[in-house]
Structure 1
Amino acid sequence: MPRPKTRIQQKNSETILEAALEVFSAHGFRGATLDQIAEVAGLSKPNLLYYFPSKEAIHSALLSELLDTWLDPLKAMDPSGEPLDEIMAYVQRKLDLSRDFPRESRLFANEILQGAPRIQASIEGELKDLVDQKADVLRQWMDEGKIARVEPVHLIFSIWALTQHYADFDTQVRAVLGQGHDPFAEAGDFLETLYLKLLRP
């Protein structure tokens, strides 16, 4: 059994992961280097390698943590809740995730754009299983006449696209909107109107 990390070791590991998140989200996996991560972390490269043996190991640790964060908003959709309320709460949770964790969103997007080489098993397993489960919930609500009939998996895809856009394309969003706009508040209002019009029976 591995020995538990000391307080200093735990702090340094967290510092490295925070620095890696900054570097990977800006440069992608291929463009990031251990030297860049060490510099942002304020550590020497040999010190960094004491905690993580490779760039791949750091990236894998970040993605492992990230997948749980990414799945939680969908997991929280309650089959026994009021359908429109549950769907709109999910949209808002995803929008909040983009607002509060933009670097994590870009890290995930970069991984998917590269063909998901490090999380393929997870998206074909845990992620797909969760989407299938929630799609069944949506179909049940449609069968009961509680929401309008649409293709449920593509409904989930659309929520991902329309919320994660605000993190992944933040620079473009803010440039187009100009000063004095809160992209996330305005997006929340727009998405509520859009999905309520689409889904009200």
Structure 2
Amino acid sequence: MSTIRKKNEAKILKAASQVFASEGYAATKTIDIAKLAGVPKANVYYYFGNKETLYSAVLETIIEPLLSATHPIETIDNPAIALTEYIKTKLIISRDYPYASKVFANEIMRGSPLLSPEIRQRLMNQSTFLLDKFTQWIDAGQMDDVSPHHLLFMIWSSTQTYADFSWQINAVMGKSSLAASDYDDAARLISQLVLKGCNVRSGNDTAISTPG
């Protein structure tokens, strides 16, 4: 792929993420995406074919980071560290992909009509893996007998909100945008609440302190 093509596609994807996030799929017009990207409208169709394909491409920019977010849970045996790193990763996704995160959230709220069956299955497989892992930790006595489902939903909501409600969060904090330190503070607090709330323990039932 040529450098020019990569740059144009990246500009269009970035602009499309913003417009889809603010307007929704149905109300979005390709001319508005082209204007924001600073390219002719014809270029949008040249690189992506149609609005639905472009929308799917925007979703793909967030799907892969979301699917990769479980890497700490997959590779770290210590549940305190694994959960802490998972929470950090989810917050980084909200920080680095704010518009695509909103597009994804809107798609889920609409019942995911434009997510491919393959992606829906991969996301479901990921959720099943996380629930099974939480259950394993509970059965091994490494955390209290909490609801794995509601624990997962709580982590999702507390990290995703930094993308979905960024305007309100920024307004309350009196900032135009959050700094990296703000996301670090959020990660520490959410991790502390999860670890202490679930009473995460090591194999010998000793309480595990929140990682710094």
**How far apart are the structure 1 equivalents of 2:55 and 2:146?**
37
Partners of 1:7 and 1:96 lie apart in 2 by 27
CA-CA distance at 1:184 after TM superposition: 2.4
Name the counterpart of 1:13.
9
> Per residue, is there more helix in 1 or in 2?
1
Counterpart in the other structure of 1:30 = 26
Normalised to the residue count of structure 2, the TM-score between the two structures is: 0.83
TM-score (norm 1): 0.88
Q: What amino acid is the match of 2:63? A: L
Offset of residue 176 of structure 1: 2.4
Answer whether contact 2:79 2:137 (CA < 8 A) is retained: yes
The 4+ residue runs of structure 1 with deviation greater than 4 A are 179-183
Q: CA–CA distance in 1 between the matches of 2:55 and 2:136?
A: 38
Alignment partner, residue 185 of structure 2: 186
Structure 1 unmatched ranges of 5 or more: none
Amino acid at match of 2:187: G
Report the AA paired with residue 188 of structure 2: D
Q: Equivalent residue of 2:69, what SS?
A: helix
2:102–2:164 Cα contact (<8 Å) kept: yes
1-structure distance, mates of 2:5, 2:183: 37
Q: Could you say if the C-alpha distance between residues 174 and 14 of structure 1 is closer, same or farther in structure 2, counting changes exceeding 3 Å?
A: closer
Identity %: 35
> Structure 2 unaligned runs (5+)?
202-212
Once the two structures are superposed, residues 108-133 of structure 1 have per-residue CA deviations (whole angstroms, 9 ceiling, x without a partner) of: 11211222111162464111111112
State how far apart, in whole Å, the 2-side matches of 1:40 and 1:160 are: 30
Aligned length: 197
**Cα separation, 1, equivalents of 2:79 and 2:192:** 15
- Say if 1:175 and 1:135 are closer, same or farther in 2 by CA, change over 3 A: same
> What displacement does 1:74 show?
1.7
Tell me the residue number matched to 1:118.
Answer: 114
Does residue 99 of the first structure (1) align with residue 118 of the second (2)? Answer: no
Shift of 1:179: 5.1
With 191-200 and 178-187 compared, the bigger mean Cα shift is at 178-187
For residues 79 and 7 of structure 1, the distance between their equivalents in structure 2, rounded to whole angstroms, comes to 36
* Paired residue type of 2:191: E
Whether 1:196 aligns to 2:192 is no
Provide the rounded CA distance (Å) in 2 between the counterparts of 1:195 and 1:9: 44
SS class of match (2:133): helix
Q: Kindly tell me: are residues 188 and 47 of structure 1, through their superposed partners in 2, closer, same or farther at Cα, counting changes over 3 Å?
A: closer
